[in-house]
Amino acid sequence: MKNILVTGGAGYIGTTLVPELLSEGHKVCVYDSLLFGGEGLLTHFKNPNFSFVKGDIRDSKKLGLAMKGKDVIIHLAAIVGYPACSRFPELAKEVNLEATKRMIDMVEDNQYVLFGSTGSNYGAVKDICTEETPLNPLSLYGETKTDAEQYIMDNSNATAYRFATAFGLSPRLRLDLLVNDFACKAIRDKYIVVYESHFMRTFIHVHDIARSFVHAINNMDEMTGEVYNVGSNNMNCSKRQICNYILNETDYYLHLADIAQDADKRDYVVSYDKILATGFDTTITLERGIKELVDGISVINFDNKYSNI
């Protein structure tokens, strides 16, 4: 049993990760500011191995107290995605980089850090991405995550995961992620407008993200000091292919238009051979995950409860 701190544990990934850790018999403390609420954690308070601290990652004093006595620190707290970082640039720098540096400066020598990084660190790439591909972030999000990753790897016993784009249902649902967003628009609006439809992207179900952290804890001796791309070689596909998968589950109108651009220029194929060699592979395919999304989103009530119309 490990004593684990999860920063940002009330978020999209955290609320899927926490029950996985608890089911493995670990003690789990979530540290979160509850910017997006904490309802996804409610079922865990009955578990004696679960605890919660409401705190801002920028509050070093409170965070330092929460870190005391922990064996593993899973660092998820962040302003995620280039749209959010562009809208709140100073907050993104403070949370994603400066607060992370202060956290790492407080990490003890016997503590193991797992960092949720991102494929956005790569920027525009022509060839297949491996962990050795030079990093060239093109957005503020990518820049802050790249700099944070470097600081963590240089100054702690850590493993960094550069995740593919997440998708799938979570107790703290996000509908701004590409696959989730497309599925929601197909169900709710009955049409999807897609730009850069030929761009190749790579994906991973949120449940498999949670599994990857459990895998690292179980294999920390082998994986400490390493950076891994985390996803599946079988889930490199274009945005147009995602739309076709959704069309297999529900009817909608698809419109292809050049109306916007991806600031991170994510148009590449990623190799996941390195993490596959450690014994980890994903379990949920795009087809299965999209069916889950279509079925799940269909039960969400999108009506405005403050309107009589």
134 pLDDT more than 70: yes
Q: How far apart, in whole angstroms, are the C-alpha atoms of residue 276 and residue 185?
A: 33
DSSP class of residue 45?
T
Overall average pLDDT of the 203-207 stretch: 97
Per the CB < 8 A criterion, the answer to whether 253 and 189 are in contact is no
308 pLDDT more than 50: no
Spatial neighbors of 156 by CB under 8 A, at least 6 apart, are: 104, 107, 111, 113
* Tokens at 187, concatenated: 């169900």
Indicate the range of 27-31, 94-98, 196-200, 245-249 predicted with least confidence: 196-200
| Closest residue by Cα to residue 75 from 152, 163, 23 | 152
216-267 confidence digits (pLDDT tens) = 999 999 999 999 999 999 999 999 999 999 999 999 999 988 766 655 556 6
| Closest residue by Cα to residue 280 from 194, 183, 208 | 208
3-state secondary structure of 158: strand
Domains of the chain: 3-169+202-232+271-282 (3.40.50.720)
What is the residue type of 309? I
